[in-house]
Amino acid sequence: MQRVKGTALSRWAAGLGLGLALAAGTGYADDFELIGINVAGAEFTSKELPGKHGTHYFFPDDDYFKYWQDKGIRTVRFPIKWERLQPTLDAEFDDTYAKLINDMLDDAGRHQMNVILDIHNYARYRGEVIGSEAVPFSAYRNLMERIAKRWHTHSALYAYDIMNEPYGDAEDNWPEAAQAGIDGVRKYDRKRPLYIEGKSWSSAARWQKYAAPLLDLKDPADNIVFSAHLYIDNDASGTYQETPSGNFDTSVGVKRAKPFVEWLQEHGKRGHIGEFGIPHTHPKWAEAAEELLTYLQKHCIPISYWAAGPSWGKYRLSIEPKKGKDRPQMAVLEKFIGEGNCKTYGPQPNDS
């Protein structure tokens, strides 16, 4: 999720996991699900490095994923922090943090979850942009090589979201950086999808303005999914500081999604909304969310809701249950879990 101005999966058949054959560019399974979630916490408190588990950053406990399995959720986008995993560029992984990722994947696998591992770094390492003298493209490729080498055989790993929300002075370098990330993963993993985000916080509304260079990316496995972010508050930041007025336009989410969807259609590409969330403080938010999810379902574009995770506290977008009880936003999401009859990522070129 973005922290300043900007815009902020599938239910695979239980037990089939990643043993299903992968047709190039089509995904893993025939049973496709619209609603996934982000489980955040491992990337928290980025100014505290390396930080302490349970104080500055948080991984879910054993059996955490059972609740989501019981709700019908099958796909989890899981943000991690580059500096914690690899404290020195081009070096070995930190044993503690890497083991926590192992444990999370093991628990996800026990509950038949598919994990999208998300490098939640905004195209930066210790504040320096990828492609700078301090963080060469080769260092980022090294990270992605090591991630793929270590975890590509894990049954719970579904995909790689190679970088969260490039923005600002990282944007000019992003296409070259993205290619370095792709090349790094593909050295060891030619099977799993690669989720590629765009410039300007990966904004769905601004996607058409910035995304043209992404068309030149080369994936030898031909298995890229473009991933945009979308929030429906006034400034699209995901902070939701206002209360909807009487003339609030509940189609705002659809309007912000259309530039992304139309670009995908024009270029014959596949899409995903990697972050979307709403507060539970006004019924208009829920109404607008339902309109957006209906639109995305029509075009077979899945979302990962922002966010779940056991350490959110009073965060208003959170869908983490309180004392075993669902958060109000789940009432909207549950209308779309297991629905849609989609077989793979959309949109189709001639969807209308």
**Which listed residue (165, 171, 291, 320) is catalytic?**
165
The catalytically annotated residue of 83, 171, 275, 291 is 275
CA quadruple 312, 168, 250, 314: dihedral, nearest 10:
10
* 262 is known as an active-site residue: no
CA dist 5 and 188 (Å) reads: 36
Active site residue 165: yes
Task: Compute the distance between CA of residue 8 and CA of residue 38 in angstroms, rounded to an integer.
Answer: 13
Tell me the two tokens of residue 190: 């030619």
Nearest 10 degrees: Cα torsion 154, 183, 217, 137 = 120
Contacts for 339 with CB less than 8 Å, ≥ 6 apart? 34, 297
CB burial readout 96-130, b (16+ within 10 A) else e: ebbebbeebbebbbebbbbbbbbbbbbbbbeeebb
CA 330, CA 232: separation in Å to the nearest integer? 17
In 41-149, beta strands by DSSP E: 75-80, 114-119, 124-125, 128-129
Question: Do residues 211 and 178 touch, judged by C-beta distance below 8 A?
Answer: no
Catalytic residues: 165, 275
